[in-house]
A and B are shown apart, each in its own frame.
Chain A
Amino acid sequence: MARQERPGRRMARERGWWPAHRFLVLRRLTQASVLGLFLLGPLAGWWIVKGNLASSLTLGVLPLSDPYLLVQSLAAGHAVGVTAWVGALIVLSAYLLLGGRVYCAWVCPINAVTDTAAWLRRRLGITHTAKFSRSTRYWLLAATLAMALVTGSLAWEWVNPVSIVFRSLVFGIGLAWGVIVAIFLFDLLVARRGWCSHLCPMGAFYSLPGHLALLRVNAGGRERCDDCMDCYAVCPEPQVISPALKPRDESASAVIRSAQCTNCARCIDVCSQDVFAFGSRFVATEPTRDRHKREIAP
């Protein structure tokens, strides 16, 4: 193997474990908190949030709904439900600010499963992968809506592993363990980042608001890049990095504009050269960590 060190190791060695894992830990905390909030009711009797990610009610006043479900519902011929539409608009506005696929990296429970599969893939040195287009998910998205239209029901929700897993964790697991194991094995043995980055129509749907989303990762410190390739190794959507990090035209924006970027910020974590940082979609901010001290110091 060409690689001497696993991705992120150098960062951890030079700067410590926390800076090399902080966004990863924050994401896991966020995912666990979302699930925990929903579980507080059934487990402890504290009803802060009711429902599940499909539709929920927080503190008895804030309705939130999954816009993807409502679009399916619309395709299936059901248009009413004011509460649900208000909730969906709130969710959509949030993702327009934070980046559409923030859902994938920071909320979705499947993310931890597929991240683990990708990590184990690297550890075990599994390089074989089935090859299919990353645009498959958009075709699947279209297919799920077409099926809703044809069957007049939310057909995809019979099999949607994302909603099944979250609902099962909150309302009773049933056979949903099988779904989790299946996705894990698929990502581990069949295709690298197969589910989240190639197939999932839900991720495809949430990438759509990502085309306009305000919060974006940028490669503002790209002149410091020393080609260690760690960011490409950990990124679930590595194709989004190049246009910002290695543009053909050097004056091109350093902002990662691709809607497929999940804002997971793992690249910020692993980069020992502090190339990446969060910023707005319009301005590439310079990363503001303590790197300059380090660089200046002898």
Chain B
Amino acid sequence: MTARKPEPSGSKGEARHAPAAPARRRFLARMAGTACGAALVGMGVGLYSRSAAPLAPHALRPPGALAEADFLSACVRCGLCVRDCPFDTLRLAELGDPAAPTGTPYFVAREIPCEMCDPIYCVEACPTEALDPALTDIDEARMGLAVVVDQETCLAFQGLRCEVCFNVCPVRGEAITLEQRHNLRTGQHSQFVPVVHSTACTGCGKCEHACITEEAAIKVLPLSLAKGGLGEHYRFGLDEKERAGESLLAPDEQHRYHLPEGVDYQLDDGGLMPRGEPPAEPYGDDALDTLNRGLESGDG
């Protein structure tokens, strides 16, 4: 390293500064070097933290956890939630654990699901409100959403009466309902298939834990993976009509499409009615008879 020699003292107006300059320059250079080094380390750490071991899809945060980005600004990784979990559901990610950022709490539903304590001990234990204390009713928790991920292995979809997930669900009959379907394979039986409702499912994972197949056919996924979204602008006409008491777009009117000839569809409980003069006599329950009459009168 070569430093420029100071000018001889006394030359012009530089006399006062010249002797000190090399030392100051060295000091500034060293400080700049240190600062740059620290900034580089900081950048490395920042990039690493953004890319290293994000929360794996099978790792679920405790109830009340803020959205993941906010959670990572709030959770100090103290493990108090883990300590207060009575069922050893929660654990802290060890260094090198691929499931979650090191030191943050999570649980794996297939191993130990959330037992949905009331009061919610983990939330009460959190000192930084990374687990939102506004959550006081565990049924309002949304740790994830159960999804029947594999209809090819789910026994219910094969026409067998399994229903274990339905029966272990802590919000029984609301988060998972059984829907009766026609068994197309046998042609003469029913299927009772599990259907999950996001309005009630807390993501506790008891269904995934209990699923009797070797690899669970129902799994709790993070809401970001499990849920679709309509879009802010989208409205279901059905819902809007119910809310407003009438259709918002166009008045209800008789539609004439795809009906047999000579038959109208009456909205006011009339159902299929033959077009033309009012019926001379009450119709029976036989729809075929009704249709035939309509056709007769239509043909003239």
Question: Using a CB–CB distance below 8 Å, which chain A residues touch chain B?
Answer: 41, 47, 50-52, 54-57, 63, 65-66, 69-70, 73, 76-78, 80-84, 87, 132-133, 135-136, 139-140, 142-144, 146-148, 150-159, 163-164, 167-168, 170-176, 178-179
Contact = CB atoms under 8 A, between A and B. Distances in A.
B69 A153 contact: yes
B237 interface: no
B103 interface: yes
Contact of A81 (B38, B95, B97, B128): B128
24 contacts: A50-B80, A50-B83, A54-B76, A56-B80, A65-B76, A73-B76, A78-B74, A80-B129, A84-B76, A132-B34, A132-B37, A140-B38, A143-B42, A143-B45, A144-B42, A146-B42, A147-B42, A147-B43, A147-B45, A152-B69, A158-B49, A167-B79, A173-B95, A174-B96
Given A87-B127, A154-B72, 8 more contacts: A52-B79, A55-B76, A56-B78, A143-B41, A157-B102, A159-B48, A168-B95, A172-B94
Given A76-B73, A144-B42, A175-B96, A84 B83 contact: no
B34 A155 contact: no
B35 interface: yes
B125 interface: yes
A176 B90 CA distance: 20
B70 interface: yes
Contacts of A87: 127
A80 B131 CA distance: 11
Contact of A135 (B34, B76, B103, B126): B34
A203 B161 CA distance: 63
A163 B76 CA distance: 10
Q: 3 smallest A-B Cβ distances: which pairs? A: A174-B94, A143-B42, A139-B38
Contacts of B129: 80-82, 84
Which of B76, B91, B95 has most A Cβ within 10 Å? B76
Interface of B is mostly: helix
A81 B102 contact: no
Contacts of B34: 132-133, 135-136, 139
B46, B70, B80, B94 — most chain A CB neighbours (10 Å)? B46
A222 B38 CA distance: 38
A66 B95 CA distance: 20
Given A136-B34, A163-B103, A66 B76 contact: yes
B39 interface: yes
Given A84-B76, A152-B69, A153-B69, A158 B45 contact: yes
Interface in B153-188: none
Contacts of B73: 73, 76-78, 148, 152-154
B127 A55 contact: yes
B4 interface: no
A153 B53 CA distance: 14
Contacts of B80: 50-51, 55-57
Nearest to B40: A143
Contacts of A170: 79
Contacts of B126: 81
Contacts of A153: 49, 69, 72-73
A272 to B, nearest CB: 37
A122 to B, nearest CB: 27
Nearest to A83: B127
A55 B76 CA distance: 7
Nearest to B30: A133
A65 B127 contact: yes
Contacts of A55: 76, 78, 80, 127-128
A41 to B, nearest CB: 7
A209 B69 CA distance: 31
Contacts of B79: 50-52, 167, 170-171
A179 B216 CA distance: 37
B46 A151 contact: yes
B94 A159 contact: no
B102 A158 contact: yes
B65 interface: no
A155 B128 contact: no
A151 B94 contact: no
A153 B92 CA distance: 17
Contacts of A80: 74, 128-129
B52 interface: yes
A270 B217 CA distance: 68
A73 B78 CA distance: 13
A161 to B, nearest CB: 10
A147 B46 contact: yes
B95 A54 contact: no
Nearest to B132: A80
Contacts of A66: 76
A73 B128 contact: yes
B97 A142 contact: no
Nearest to A41: B83
